Structure 1
Amino acid sequence: MSAFPFQIVGFDLDGTLVDSHGDLAHAVNHALAQEGRAPVAPAQVRAMIGGGARKMLAKALATTGGPVADARFEELHDALLAFYEDNIAVETRLFPGGAAMLDALAVRGVRIAVVTNKLERFARKVLADLDLSNRFFIVIGGDTLGPGRAKPRPDLLNLMVERCGGGRAAYVGDSTYDTRAAAAAGIPCVAVSFGFNDVPPAEMGADAVIAHFDELVPVLESVGLRNAPPITV
């Protein structure tokens, strides 16, 4: 087996590693019900995911009648988070091929990370409930570095490389939050077309797009060759 080009591969969580839109939809609709709003369909919530719970709730409120006062928004946000924490992995599952793909990266000695805009404690709970925690070298959440440091800023991806001990890194995501963060961090990015894409995958600015996790390892090998650092003598 030839040397794999990346020592670190990071993954977004919702819409990339796991299909969580059903559980997130239930949490959003629980919060909307507190305001007497009609529920939104899971397919609608799927398109709202990516920037964290606050942005998801704000989009759901806009869809069902408009924003609420700031204090009320905080109450609804708290209700959403509490419900979600109690029902975090009822329907959530790895996307097809995910387990075999993680095995293939592990065999190649890759340090595998999760870097998500989800709150870190929720990301860890999802992985624990799905019995996936031991597959990841580190887990970084949108709040790990404090306010204002989440994707699309590069801070979380820079932290990923630091905490993984350095080396060539690649990132896998499903939205422009991911591709923009990777570009800002100087890290190649692969987009998944089966995720919660906020724009058509071909327009995300990723180095490559895959339609199934079976494609990821060979695509990363190809991306690694295209983005190989120059040889110095």
Structure 2
Amino acid sequence: MDSIIFDLDGTLWDSSEQVLTIWNEVLKKHGDLPEITKEQLASCMGLQSKEIGQKLFPQLSEEQQDEILTECHEVECPYLGDHGAVVYPDVERVLTVLAQKYKLFIVSNCQNGYIEAFYKSHQLEKYFIDYEHPGRTGLTKGENIKLIIERNQLKQPIYVGDTKGDLTGARFAGIPFVYASYGFGEVDEFDYVIHRFSDLLELF
């Protein structure tokens, strides 16, 4: 193994409370739309923007879904960049150790500015060599993982994530999958499992 590619939501941090508050503030401007619940938001973790729109606002046209999510994202990233969210216990300590031996990356199904907000608010950019997301490429998670592998000439990477979408992405890219069971999803197929972020130090 020469590298580790991480998912973000449910793996490195939990921004659900902050995002829920921000998105519901936006929805208040659209008086005919009900508030989103924490459970609804959690069910969207790991999905791409188009899938989130279909899941949360099935009564709206695709154009309206995109318009509302764009508005949510425009407010969300600057807020998270300034205020941050809940980084899981021991993340920086573990990244410090892993970065001495492995090349570290992030591939997340998010919009432009989201990973950058994570970096800015918690000063964690120094541990990662590269990152990718569909907001920049328009590609699926598996395609973005492959893009990171090819761009950085990785030989034996692994992917760490918490949802079935993460598993699918890792399998598409043909690399081992480490299931972060403390995150948002439930996955019954994996190559390794961690129950807390610090378990990575015991695995690798």
8 Å CA contact 1:93, 1:130 repeated in 2: no
Give the match for residue 165 of structure 2.
177
For residues 79-116 of structure 1, the C-alpha deviation after alignment (integer angstroms, 9 at most, x for no partner) is: 111121231253512211211211120122x1100011
Report the Cα distance in structure 2 between the residues aligned to 1:133 and 1:34, rounded to whole angstroms.
34
CA-CA distance at 1:54 after TM superposition: 3.5
Give the match for residue 155 of structure 1.
143
Secondary structure at 2:5's aligned position in 1? strand
| Distance 1:143-1:196 versus aligned 2 partners, 3 A rule | same
Give the match for residue 32 of structure 1.
27
8 Å CA contact 2:7, 2:106 repeated in 1: yes
For residues 8-47 of structure 1, the C-alpha deviation after alignment (integer angstroms, 9 at most, x for no partner) is: 1000011111111112212331343233223233343122
| Aligned residues with identical type, % of pairs | 23
Pair 1:128 & 2:123 matched: no
Give the match for residue 45 of structure 2.
49
For residues 34-82 of structure 1, the C-alpha deviation after alignment (integer angstroms, 9 at most, x for no partner) is: 3322323334312222113343343222xxxx42123322321221111
Give the match for residue 115 of structure 1.
107
Pair 1:192 & 2:199 matched: no
Report the Cα distance in structure 2 between the residues aligned to 1:55 and 1:28, rounded to whole angstroms.
16
User: In structure 2, what residue type is equivalent to 1:128?
Assistant: K
Report the Cα distance in structure 1 between the residues aligned to 2:181 and 2:122, rounded to whole angstroms.
23
Secondary structure at 1:170's aligned position in 2? strand
The worse-fitting range, judged by mean Cα deviation, of 125-134 and 33-42 is: 33-42
Equivalent of residue 101 in structure 1, options 72, 81, 94: 94
Q: Alignment length, in residue pairs?
A: 202
Report the Cα distance in structure 2 between the residues aligned to 1:173 and 1:130, rounded to whole angstroms.
20
Report the Cα distance in structure 2 between the residues aligned to 1:20 and 1:54, rounded to whole angstroms.
20
The worse-fitting range, judged by mean Cα deviation, of 69-78 and 18-27 is: 69-78
For residues 172-202 of structure 1, the C-alpha deviation after alignment (integer angstroms, 9 at most, x for no partner) is: 00111111111111100101111111xx23x
Unpaired runs of 5+ in structure 2? none
User: In structure 2, what residue type is equivalent to 1:218?
Assistant: E
- Rg (Cα) greater in structure: 1
- TM-score scaled to structure 1, two decimals? 0.79
The worse-fitting range, judged by mean Cα deviation, of 13-22 and 31-40 is: 31-40
Superposition RMSD on alpha carbons, in Å?
1.9
Report the Cα distance in structure 1 between the residues aligned to 2:46 and 2:55, rounded to whole angstroms.
11
Displacement over 3 Å in runs of 4+:
none
| Distance 1:120-1:164 versus aligned 2 partners, 3 A rule | farther
User: In structure 1, what residue type is equivalent to 2:179?
Assistant: A
